[in-house]
Amino acid sequence: MEQSKFEYRAPLQWGDLDPYRRERTHVGMWAWLIQRFSAVLIVIFLTLHLFFTYKPFLQFMLLVAVALHAALGLRVILLDFNLADIKRQRNLVYWLPGIGLALVLLIWGIIY
């Protein structure tokens, strides 16, 4: 019996989990989700900041959320205006938030 070149996969039924979903998930989707989640965190921390001013932990978490959101937004700008190679977008997801968080820690260390 001849083996087919393509693997046959039965269609998923209602409630089945796709076993190949994790392998096909792109890093850009995770960056998009993290940026949206950080936007929600910014709104929450800003609201809390209005009620509990001068709380260092709250200010630090707000600064981290803003840095993460800005770094991933910078990634989108670089890719949209073709200023970065699309083949290196995976590196941008790791490096830009890392640089942003390093800057937050540096600024926080200088201030406090």
CA dihedral of 49, 52, 57, 58, whole degrees rounded to 10: -20
pLDDT at 98: 94
Top-confidence residue, 13 or 64: 64
Question: Among residues of the chain, what percentage have pLDDT more than 70?
Answer: 88
pLDDT at 5: 63
Tally of CB atoms within 10 A around 22:
8
pLDDT at 12: 80
Tally of CB atoms within 10 A around 79:
17
From the list 38, 40, 37, 32, the residue with the least C-alpha distance to 89 is 32
SS3 label, residue 49: helix
Give the least confident one: 5-14, 43-52, 74-83, 92-101.
Answer: 5-14
SS3 label, residue 14: coil
Question: Among residues of the chain, what percentage have pLDDT more than 90?
Answer: 57
